[in-house]
Amino acid sequence: MPVVVVANPKGGVGKSTLSTNIAGYMARQGHAVMLGDVDRQQSSRLWLSLRPPEARPIATWDTSADDIVRPPRGTSHVVLDTPAGLRGSKLKDVVKLAHKVVIPLQPSLFDMYATRAFLDDLLEQRKAGQLDIGVVGMRVDPRTIASEKLHEFVHGLGLPVLGYLRDTQNYIHLAARGLSLFDVTPSRVAKDLEQWADICRWLDH
């Protein structure tokens, strides 16, 4: 059962945006998806509560930051939205469950600096087993110097940049209705789906 963990020790970087859209993508593929939210803000759980009944089903995972357990039977795919400050033993618990870790990262010096120690910890734990780690640039134009610096930073760690997601109101408007990019007519969000193409391929690999 694939478990995708979305993690970054810094708050406000787009973890819930990534988590809900990854869950939406998996649901569109016909999988039995469970979206777990161990972030105290419970943004992903709120998103699920807003999800309309006609949308593809995504189940919630009743867990907490202090009690990360294995998902129940009947689940084929899991997405786990994690809290800011995830380190130490709690990070180890999450990594034990994970098959893939997606790290949202904004292209600013402060965000990269705040994430460096976390990435080092994650890479150290990856040595103990199989774990795919990828970075997604959030709210970034790939044509800018900032995105170039982000790519250099991530490449220097030996990690792939899976894609760059633009700063758009589409995510905000869809989230307010409990929807993802993958729940609406593709032509409405064509530019955003194009940015997700490589991310989706990585998730499916």
Asked if 5 and 94 count as a contact pair (C-beta separation under 8 A), the reply is yes
Per-residue pLDDT at 137: 92
Per-residue pLDDT at 173: 97
CA distance 18 to 180: 10
Residues forming a β-bridge with 3: 78
Better-predicted residue by pLDDT, 201 or 92:
201
Per-residue pLDDT at 189: 98
Per-residue pLDDT at 70: 65
Asked if 136 and 105 count as a contact pair (C-beta separation under 8 A), the reply is yes
Residue 158 phi/psi, 5° resolution?
A: 80, 25
Most confident range (mean pLDDT) of 5-9, 124-128, 143-147, 176-180 is: 176-180
Per-residue pLDDT at 111: 87
User: For the segment 104-163, what is each residue's pLDDT rounded down to a tens digit?
Assistant: 999 888 888 888 888 888 888 776 667 899 999 999 887 888 888 888 888 888 888 899
pTM of the model: 0.91
Ordered by start, the domain boundaries in the chain are 3-204
Question: Where do we find the tokens 């189940």?
Answer: 59
Q: 3-state SS of 99-159?
A: CEEEEEECCCHHHHHHHHHHHHHHHHHHCCCCCEEEEEEECCCCCCHHHHHHHHHHHHCCC
CA distance 88 to 69: 17
Better-predicted residue by pLDDT, 108 or 24:
24
Q: From 3.10.450.50, 3.40.50.2000, 3.40.50.300, 2.60.120.20, which CATH number describes the 3-204 domain?
A: 3.40.50.300
